[in-house]
Amino acid sequence: MLDQINQSNDVQNFSITQLEELAADCRKRILEVISQTGGHLASSLGAVELIVSLAKVFDLERDKIVWDVGHQTYAYKLLTGRNDRFEQIGCKDGLSKFLSRFESPYDHFGAGHASTSISASLGISKARTLNGDDFKTIAVIGDGAMTGGLAYEALNHTGDLDENLIVILNDNEMSIDANVGALSRTVLNISSSKSFNRVRAEIIRQIREHKLPLAISKTMDRVNDSLMAFFTKGIWFEKFNFRYFGKVDGHDIKDLVSFLKLVKDIRGPILLHVVTKKGKGFQPAEFNPAIFHGVGPFNQKTGEPTKEKQKGKSYTSIWSDAFAQIVESDEKVVGISAAMSANTGLAKIRQNHPERIFDVGIAEGHAVTFAGGMSTEGIKPFVVIYSTFLQRAFDHIVHDICRQNLPVRFILDRGGFVGGDGATHHGILDLSYLRMIPNMSIMVPKNGAEMQAMINLAHQYDKGPIAMRFPRGNSCEYSNLSQDTLPEIPFGKGETLRSGNDILLLAVGAMVDEALKVAENLEKDGISVGVINARFVKPLDRDLILSAVSSVKLVATMEENVRIGGFGSGVLELLAESGVLKPFVPFGAPDQFIKFASRDEQMKEAGLDVPSMTAKLQQTWAPIAAPKKNQVAV
């Protein structure tokens, strides 16, 4: 059936039986490809029947579906002209793992972070009204994204505007980790029968079309509220001025099509509650949806990874093991995550200390301010969030933490380029947006062993907020030493790894090893190169840097972060303030969004691979060295 689709609207002619066959084909195609390429599996498998049903009921050439994040949309890609390129998902110049306005006219709003779909679709709906256009707007949001505050701001505004908008709540009882919070439990308790919903729909239609006398209309409204209160233990969505319909079996295409047709032409805000199973149709993903949220290549029969295991130990595991020791040794320490406790290494610690590991849901801003409040009472909070997601809490970091100089520890996972997830998930802005905030200190370890020492330092540091970022991937250099035997890293101090008289390379994090490789290449040309592992982006080791710079003719900085405002900018500011004028080459990500590709390809595009940096420095050094070669003995 999938091969019979030339354009998305072909699906509208399919029978229910054909739609079921089409859903099976989509699920098979997703499994075949993602088992080879890797990608977001469990969410996309769970939404197959919903997507097929949407394509049956709505005109995808005209109507606009806005998806939250895009984890769930692989079947949507297959039905909207991308089946023949699906093997290229996550590859350079291929398809995005999420939705992208640059990729397809069917992708009406791109996103890689949660909770944006209702806001965006309301904007599209209001623009439709202002422009006098005629199309349907549908937002599909996962229940996990409903823990994000932006979703409720959008619900509130939608109800106030009374705009025609259909919101589909895809309820699979999970975001990436299992959902948390009282509101999540309330949403999951909402239930009602199909007949009840059909009666309500008819009542709503009669009232809105003024076919009932005013007194009867008001009475029916009160009856509706009473029924909702009885059947759902509350009228949460109804109080936002949404008309609620559900629950609907998200894998029963006949029911889905019936309900979508039912709500399609009802005016005003509508919320359709659809219940799906994450990983549907692939048993390993059904049993372990968190593990199969985002996967590498795997055996399609067993679910076991097929990609050769990387050497070393993952940075996330190293962090988790080190933090577990701290939690055991200090009862004042707590860990805070935003719907990512498993992916950030906190879940296994929570098994032993459930009262000290907090998952706040997709609410990064709340996580930060919550940590600030705890710190005022002598608790030592570690806020553990992917670098890209911490961006959403910027004002909370500024206003609630740094302004009050509270000792909150920020642990940023996935710092730097992250490969196939692309621009929405790169952690290449953190050094810049954190460095600009007064009172913030920033550490970047060169490897796993140094990271363990920095975690220990963060635990001991109580003079204000401090952040440490580490990359995705593995480190072969790590230690199983206890806290007491870890080497000490003095606050704000870097280290000299090699001395040189011609060029000085200042590097942080994963770029330290690259700097050493570049130095070796340049030494082959007879260039004397020094390398410093700065360790701290803020404060910089002023004495070490100025002393080393004084004896060389060319200075370069290396960071896996945007050049603007980052580590290199800090070094330049230090040199300028000190009246030091030297030729300077800042290596960092350019002022652009670098798309999905492998990490190595992204590093090369950014000019941060060893050959590119070596060539740039050779080119810059040549005119500096030329006068020395042309000197004539007198």
Place of tokens 């707007």: 137
Residues with Cβ within 8 Å of residue 245, at least 6 apart in sequence: 192, 197, 200, 201, 259, 262, 263, 270, 271, 272, 273
3-class SS at 231?
Answer: helix
Q: Is the peptide bond before 247 cis (omega within 30 degrees of 0)?
A: yes
Residues 389/65, Cβ–Cβ less than 8 Å: no
Residue type, 338: A
Place of tokens 């060169």: 446
Of 428, 419, 386, give the one whose Cα is nearest residue 176: 386
Q: Is 356 a catalytic residue?
A: no
d(CA 219, CA 231): 18
d(CA 248, CA 233): 18
Set 278, 435, 472, 563: catalytic member: 278
Set 20, 364, 601, 605: catalytic member: 364
Run of H or E including 337: strand 333-337
Q: Is 450 a catalytic residue?
A: no
Please count the CA atoms within 13 angstroms of the CA of 587 that sit on its side-chain side.
33
Q: Which two tokens stand for residue 343?
A: 């992916």
Q: Is 601 a catalytic residue?
A: no
Q: Which two tokens stand for residue 99?
A: 């939705």
Strands (E), 176-306: 243-249, 269-275
Q: Which residues pair with 413 in a beta bridge?
A: 386
Residue type, 293: H
Set 29, 77, 136, 392: catalytic member: 392
DSSP annotation of 72 reads T
Q: Which residues of 27-65 are buried (b: 16+ CB within 10 A; e: fewer)?
A: bebbbebbbebbbbbbbbbbbbbbbbbbbbbbebeebbb
- In 64-164, alpha helices (H): 74-77, 117-131, 149-161
Residues 368/400, Cβ–Cβ less than 8 Å: yes
Residues 425/414, Cβ–Cβ less than 8 Å: yes
Rounded to the nearest 10 degrees, the angle between the axes of helix 16-37 and helix 253-264 is: 110
Beta strands across the sheet bearing 554-562 = 495-498, 529-533, 503-507, 554-562, 584-589
d(CA 181, CA 189): 13
Question: Computed from CA positions of residues 483, 485, 489, 495, in that sequence, does the dihedral angle turn out positive or negative?
Answer: negative
- In 446-510, alpha helices (H): 448-460
d(CA 292, CA 276): 16
d(CA 96, CA 108): 14
Place of tokens 């509208």: 12
Residues 335/323, Cβ–Cβ less than 8 Å: yes
Residues tagged active-site: 278, 364, 392
